[in-house]
Structure 1
Amino acid sequence: MPSCPQCNQSISANTITCSYCGLELKAHGHPGIDLHRAQGDAYLCDSCTYHQDDSCTFPQRPQATTCTLYQDVTAAQERRLDVSEIYTIPRWRKYSGWIVLGVIVAISIVLVVI
């Protein structure tokens, strides 16, 4: 069972606010949106993948202490992709433009010869 980050009391995983100290645990009052919090004086942006690749659009960046989209850089680096997770584009779809152009050229050559 998880505990509140502020008062360390046991709470339910779907609790929106802590009943002991009133700390908001879920974002926007929705039990499905986790609200990540910085530990101590550090900012979340320092260790977030969105900040590292400069794709973060959060207004409080780079001093965000709470965020709903936070992804830890170290966790992302430790995770390895499985072969089944990688989608490969079939050749005929990858080169479909060239195939269509080749068919048009072939048809026009046949029409010129006839």
Structure 2
Amino acid sequence: MATVSCPRCHQAVDSQAITCPYCRTTLKAFGHPGIPLHRASKDEYLCDSCTYHADDTCNFPQRPYAKDCTLYQNIEESKLQSQQQLAHQSFGVTVKSWVKRNQGLLLLLGLVLICLVIALSTS
């Protein structure tokens, strides 16, 4: 049985518990053990370090003063993840994605090249 610490009373609680059996603090969102509920520290708000607040896509009613949220995503963790993904991409994957993004340009260049070959061969 995995345990976590209750954010209010700091007692060890089962990681699947919906509420703390000691102080009745809600630990999971909407009473569902699969939805984690992120909580801010005493004097901080989650929105200050949230990706959705930074890119202005958050529609949470408590924004920008949310103390708990189910959709919270730490902006620093997001940046670190994207940097790691970029570092792990191989040259072949990079070329394939570039070709996929620029198919129209490659088609146009191919047609120009074919026209140039035909024009040079007939003259």
Once the two structures are overlaid, the 10-residue window that deviates more, 23-32 or 67-76, is 67-76
Q: Which residues of 2 match residues 19-98 of structure 1 at below 5 A? A: 19-79=21-81, 80-81=84-85, 82-83=88-89, 89=97, 91=99, 95=103
Deviation at 1:59, TM superposition (A): 1.1
What is the alpha-carbon distance in structure 1 between the residues aligned to residue 101 and residue 40 of structure 2? 45
Q: TM-score, normalised by structure 1?
A: 0.73
Deviation at 1:83, TM superposition (A): 2.1
* AA partner of residue 38 (structure 2): H
Residues 18/92 of structure 1: CA separation in 2 closer, same or farther (3 Å cut): closer
What is the alpha-carbon distance in structure 1 between the residues aligned to residue 101 and residue 75 of structure 2? 34
- Greater share of helix residues, 1 or 2? 2
Deviation at 1:74, TM superposition (A): 1.7
* AA partner of residue 64 (structure 2): P
Q: TM-score, normalised by structure 2?
A: 0.68
Q: Which runs of 5+ in 2 are unaligned?
A: 112-123
1:17 aligned partner: 19
Q: Deviations for 1:6-46, whole angstroms, at most 9, x for unmatched residues?
A: 00100111000000000000000000000001101211000
Which residue, 5, 12, 16 being the options, matches 2:7?
Answer: 5
Runs of at least 4 residues off by over 3 Å: 86-96
What is the alpha-carbon distance in structure 1 between the residues aligned to residue 71 and residue 100 of structure 2? 36
- Greater share of strand residues, 1 or 2? 2
1:111 aligned partner: none
